[in-house]
Structure formats: structure tokens, C-alpha cells
Structure 1
Amino acid sequence: MAATVQDAIMLLGDSLTQGGYELNGFAAKLAHVYNRKMDVINRGFSGYNTDWILPVFEQVLYTPCFATQHEQQHVPKVRLLVIWFGANDAAPPPKDQHVPLDRFRANLRKLLWMVRSPESPRYSPDTRIVLMTPPPVNTAQRERAQRAKSPLKELDRDFEMTRRYAEAVGEVGQQESVPVVDLWGKLYDAAGRKEESLEEFLTDGLHLNEKGYAVVFNELDKTIKVNYPKYHYDNMQSVFAYSFDILANNPDKYMELTKKRSAFPE
């Protein structure tokens, strides 16, 4: 049976992604601008690193959009996949979330392979991928937030280590020809390249506030527009006619006018 829902953008990541539907979060803004064009599927898993996300991704992330090659002709498709990891992988050892840098790079490549390789059972040639780097951390703010918890917790992030993981995302993107949103650089620049000034964009030294998510949305928006203009909302049409189209073309014909159409104009 033919699909009756829209194609989708999938957001795959950790708590930074999971929090994307907070007030004016980047996922909420994406859902707004892609309304009636593509659905936004948030697959953010708080606390996860790239080791732990791989078996989840292999289970299709609980959505039919990443079906097997045989099934894909019958279901909506993920047109854009945004992968955002590194914030937890960069937790300093011996933290349980820590993933060594070389394995972090390999895990990112494995995620890309699962979507882009014809040898993968989840191969999806219609899916375009964007990688995003972890944002910088504010260790002083993070330490205050950790010490305010009950029971008290110790500092669990390192500024320089997170920078190295952000650089690794950029390296993988360059080697694999996948566009990268450099959130580490953009947010650090926005803070005047001062770690203490990052507090303007962070809630607890690690997670983003509304202003931080605004940077994420703006940079992701620009990256999609430049690299995948076909999938930018400005270049798409509603999959069902707008009400003014029905009114302008005889309301009595609404049954025909409201048939599903492609979001991508010919």
C-alpha cells in the first residue's frame, strides 16, 4: 500500500538532540519551517555515545522510514539525516561514556556506511547526511552545575578534549564528503573565543539554552541550503494543496485538489 505520510528529516544524537524540542529548540524550529513538507523525527538519546547508538540504529530507530531495500518502495523516506554526537564520547576517561577518539571516528563512519553503502541492508540512496560537531563546554559552569546536584558530582567534561572530538567530526566529514556543521567553532566565535563567555549559550556548561539552539538552527539551515538545496524548505511545496489553492481553483473540486503530491516541484 502506498505511503500516506510525508517523507522526513531524522535527527540522530544524544541529549543535545533530544532537547531539540524545548522552547525554541532547533528541532522545534525545523518542524515549523518544514510543516506540511517533511516530518521531523527526533531520535535523540540522552546520555548516549556512538558505541551505544549503533545497535539502536540497526533496529531502524523505531520508524519505518529506514526500511530494508526491499521495503523502501512502500514507505516514506528519510530525505535528510542529521547526525550529532561527540558531547558524551568526549567525557574524559575513566567515565563510562568515554569513547576513544579512533573508535569515535570509526563509529561515525559506520553510521555513514549503514546509510550510504549498497552493501548495507539499510542502504538509502535518497538520504542526504549532515554531521554536526559537539559544541564547546564551559568547564567552570559545568563544575558549578555538578556540585549543585544531590549527591554532589564531579566535573565530567574537558574543554580541550571536546575540541578534539569536534575536530574529529570535521575530519570524518571531509574524508567521507559529508557536510559538517561546525558548532564548536561557531559557538566559540559567538562567545568571543572565551570559554567563560559560553555561559550565554549553555544551561549547565554542557547543554544548550534557547540562544545556543538558535545558533544550531541557523547553521544547520545554511548547511542544508548550500549543500542540499532540493531539500531546503524554501525550495519545496506542501505535499497537499494549500487552502487558497482550493479556493482559487473551485472549492467543489477539493477531493481532486487535495490529492497527495511530491514535496519536490518538477
Structure 2
Amino acid sequence: MAANVQDVIMLLGDSITQGGFIADGFGQKLSHVYARKLDVLNRGFSGYNTTWTIPVFEQLFAQQHEQQHVPKVRILTIWFGANDACIPPSIQHVPLPEFSSNLRRIIRMVTSPTSAWYSSITKIILITPPPVNTRQRGADLASRDPPRDLDREFEVTHQYAEAVKAVGAREGVPVVDLWTILYEAAGRDEAKLSEFLYDGLHLNEKGYQFVYDDIINTINKHFPELHYDKLQSVFVGHADINFDNPAETLKLRKAVLSDR
């Protein structure tokens, strides 16, 4: 029981999600503000694309008949595109139409009442891939042993980011448009993206700050009841403990006061 006392935020994605628990990463910041309210599960898989993620998600997201026995996923972030947008002949490449279809499939696994994984209380947030700094990325790949050719293109990744936005609009799912946020922050200058990317692809602390801020803004706008300031701790604060009979007040309660 002790491991399952809190409902969760699940972060689904590739290496940029997996790396979100670095110092001042977006996952670390979410864990801090949601401490004692919702646990944050990092389900980022380095190198994965949407095609490889579907069978994994089918195993890690509880089916309907299992959901009463495990913590409920209150918020699910879905963050892909950086690997899907690799240019052929990369094995990570997923054609744009298939990428969009894969995203819709993952979303509908959770949102469709006919799905074995349907969860009416799970709120979904999509995140676009960040822009690629091809100069940084090319230099990083060229420095490896053996050297590798550039595997991503700036405008191709932009197309995948736009596809995420289109899927979000079609499915009624809010989108954190990180591609536009970072490109605008860099003054629409690809070279200046190095301020937010440590190797031309993966985010540094400054880049993750934008992700965190916009996730919180999105929650506040679309799911305000799940903002950390609106949730209660699953156990009372120490000032509310009945010191004469502690067990009386130290009873598990739900952080989310009602399901909507």
C-alpha cells in the first residue's frame, strides 16, 4: 500500500523526457511542486520513436480492470517527434503521416471509452519537439568515433512540431508548442538555440525551464483543479496532527478532492 498512496503525473517521451530529472529539469521541478500531492513518473525512453513506444505504453499504462489497484494517472504528458523526425535512412525515422497516426493512437488509448486503457480522469498534454540547432548537432556527431553524418534537419523537425499541434487540435488536447517558444526566445536565429540546447538536440536547464513553465501554464488554463496550489497533501501538515492521538489524523486522503 505504501508505494501506491499518491496518484501520479506520467511523463511519456524519448530522451528529452528521460533527461528531465537533471538538476533544474522539468521533471525535477514538477516533482518538487507536486510533492506530497502527486508523484511524477518519468517514462522517457532514450532513442525511441512513436512506433516503438506504442507496445511499451500498452504495458506500462494500466488497463481499465487494473486501474482500481494502482495509482491513477491524473496528468499524462506525451512528448515525441525529435526521433521520428530523423531523416532517412535513420532507423528512428517515422514518416510524418504515420507519426501523426501514432500520436492519435496513443491519445485514443486513454480517451476512447472503447479502449482497454480508457481512463476518464486522465488529462493529456502534448509537447512539440524543440527546434534543432543543426550546427551544434552536426559538430557533436562529427566529433564522435567514428564520426556520423547529420541526422536531422531544422525544417523537417518543424514539420513534425506542426503535426503535433494539428493532432492536438483534432483530438481536443492542449499542446505546449516548445518549437515556437524556443525559436522565438532565440530571436528566430537557429544559431542562438545553443543557449537552450547543449548538443543541438537535447535541452539544458534553461531549455527545460520553458517546458516546466508552459506545462504549469497549460494545467492552470485547461485543468485548474489539478494545479499544485489547488491540491491538498495526501497526509495533513504537521500542524494539523492530533498530538494526543496521532493515528486519528494521519489517515490517507486524496490530493484531488473530486473527479471531473
Please give the TM-score of this superposition, normalised by the length of structure 2. Answer: 0.96
Percent of aligned pairs with the same amino acid: 61
Question: What is aligned with 1:142?
Answer: 137
Q: Does 1:156 align with 2:156?
A: no
The 2-side partners of 1:239 and 1:94 are apart by 50
Question: What do the CA deviations read for 1:63-94 (whole angstroms, capped 9, x no partner)?
Answer: xxx32212222321000000000000000111
SS of equivalent to 2:161: helix
SS of equivalent to 1:41: strand
1:70-89 aligned at under 5 Å gives the runs: 70-89=65-84
Question: What is aligned with 2:46?
Answer: 46
The 1-side partners of 2:239 and 2:4 are apart by 22
* Conserved? CA contact 2:6–2:254, under 8 Å: no
Question: What do the CA deviations read for 1:229-259 (whole angstroms, capped 9, x no partner)?
Answer: 111101101000111222xxx3122101110
The 2-side partners of 1:56 and 1:4 are apart by 21
The 2-side partners of 1:219 and 1:57 are apart by 24
* Conserved? CA contact 1:7–1:77, under 8 Å: yes
The 1-side partners of 2:89 and 2:4 are apart by 48
Q: Does 1:259 align with 2:251?
A: yes
The 1-side partners of 2:172 and 2:15 are apart by 26
Question: What is aligned with 1:132?
Answer: 127
Q: Does 1:182 align with 2:156?
A: no
Unaligned runs of 5+ residues in structure 2 are none
Q: Does 1:200 align with 2:195?
A: yes
TM superposition outliers: structure 1 runs of 4+ over 3 Å = 1-4
Question: What do the CA deviations read for 1:102-121 (whole angstroms, capped 9, x no partner)?
Answer: 00000000001111111111
Task: Give the CA deviation at 1:4.
Answer: 4.4
Question: What do the CA deviations read for 1:156-214 (whole angstroms, capped 9, x no partner)?
Answer: 11000000000000000001100000000000011011000000000100000010011
Question: What is aligned with 2:25?
Answer: 25
Task: Give the CA deviation at 1:264.
Answer: 2.3
Task: Give the CA deviation at 1:56.
Answer: 0.3
**Number of aligned positions between the proteins:** 258
Unaligned runs of 5+ residues in structure 1 are none
* Conserved? CA contact 1:20–1:28, under 8 Å: yes
Q: What letter is aligned with 1:163?
A: H
Q: Which moved more, 1:145-154 or 1:159-168?
A: 145-154
* Conserved? CA contact 2:5–2:252, under 8 Å: no
CA change 1:243–1:2 in 2 (3 A) is: closer
Question: What is aligned with 1:165?
Answer: 160
